[in-house]
Amino acid sequence: MGQKRTTHSEEFKARVAMEAIKGVQTLSELSAAHGVPPTVIAHWKRQLREGAPEVFRRGPASGARREDDLTTPLY
């Protein structure tokens, strides 16, 4: 039988990706320290860099709009 896939929390992914961006340790060192393949860490790092502009976007949060869409029919 194959090995079961491990799922990591968003907080763990963000922490490891931030460590990779800081560049204090290499991907291989981070991989050994956290038990995650270096290619996965590189992918998380790229996702963090590409998604960073979303943090600074102005306007209502997309979550707030979805909540309004859900609660309006109830009233």
pLDDT in tens, 14-36: 999 999 999 999 999 999 999 99
> Quick check: is 5 in a domain?
no
> Quick check: is 53 in a domain?
yes
pLDDT at residue 66 is higher than 60: yes
> Quick check: is 3 in a domain?
no
**Tokens (6 digits) for 17:** 């990706």
> Quick check: is 2 in a domain?
no
Cα 51 to Cα 3: distance, rounded to the nearest angstrom: 30
Through-space distance between the first and last CA atoms of the chain, rounded to whole angstroms = 51
| Mean pLDDT over each residue of the chain, to the nearest integer | 87
Full-model pTM: 0.71
Please give the pLDDT value at position 27: 96
> Quick check: is 75 in a domain?
no
